[in-house]
Amino acid sequence: MIQSRVAMRYAMALFQEAQQHNLLETVIEDVRGLTTMLKESRDFALFVSSPIIKASQKQAVLTAIADKACLAKLTHTFLALLVEKNRIAELRDILAAFKTLYNNAHNLLPVEITSAIELDSTQKEHLLRTIEKRTGKKPLPTYSINPSLIGGFTVKIGDTLIDSSLRHQLTLLKQRLLEGTLSN
């Protein structure tokens, strides 16, 4: 994911401030919670990005959310700054940039693993060890199931997709047969 310069600057400022005050773990939890809210609540996402809603109204609602969600004072102050600077509409990108900074600082690698069926714990462990060995980073997996893969799995790391699914193998075989490159 490519973040804007503005998103990266604000994320870097929050990251450095959180580090300086030894609040990095607290702030990353706040960031994850806000990210979930943006994903799961269309109303919240529209509210944050709406140019029609006045800054004072956004400030009041975000303060109520910060209080109810028990956000760290630093996170609440940061949200207030975004409203004040008219950058709250970029909250989603700023949060994503912050997570990227956090993951890089902690040598973590988000990976999306999709399989045809549920992987058992041994398979998951083996796959994660292989990813860690090849990348030198600790994988942060998210798992999903897609029966259309027929068998096998796909692993998405950033913009890279590793496709070890049976569906992909069958597609490759079909292409080779159509091209006449399949030899005995």
The pLDDT of residue 1 is above 60: no
What ranges do the domains of the chain cover? 5-104, 107-179
Q: Give the tens place of pLDDT for each residue, 26-45.
A: 999 999 999 999 999 999 99
46 vs 117: CA distance, rounded Å: 36
**pLDDT value, residue 167:** 85
Q: What's CA 149's distance to the chain center, in Å?
A: 23
HEC letters along 44-85: HHHHHHCCCCCHHHHHHHHHHHHHHCCCCHHHHHHHHHHHHC
The pLDDT of residue 172 is above 90: no
Q: Give the tens place of pLDDT for each residue, 110-148.
A: 999 999 899 999 999 999 999 999 999 999 999 999 998
Task: Report the CATH number of the 5-104 domain.
Answer: 1.10.520.20
Report DSSP state, residue 169: H
Q: Give the tens place of pLDDT for each residue, 66-112.
A: 999 999 999 999 999 999 999 999 999 999 999 999 999 999 999 99
pTM, to two decimals: 0.81
The pLDDT of residue 184 is above 60: no
The pLDDT of residue 16 is above 90: yes
Report DSSP state, residue 149: G
CATH class of 107-179: alpha beta
Of the candidates 114, 103, 105, the one whose C-alpha atom is nearest the C-alpha of residue 145 is: 114
Q: How far is the CA of 76 from the CAs of 10, 59, 61, 123, 131, in angstroms?
A: 14, 10, 11, 41, 36
Burial (0-12, 13-18, 19+ Cβ within 10 Å), 163:
middle
Q: Assess contact for 158 and 141: CB atoms under 8 A.
A: no
Q: In terms of C-beta distances under 8 Å and separation of at least 24 residues, what long-range contacts does 59-67 make, across chains too?
A: 59/83, 62/88, 65/37
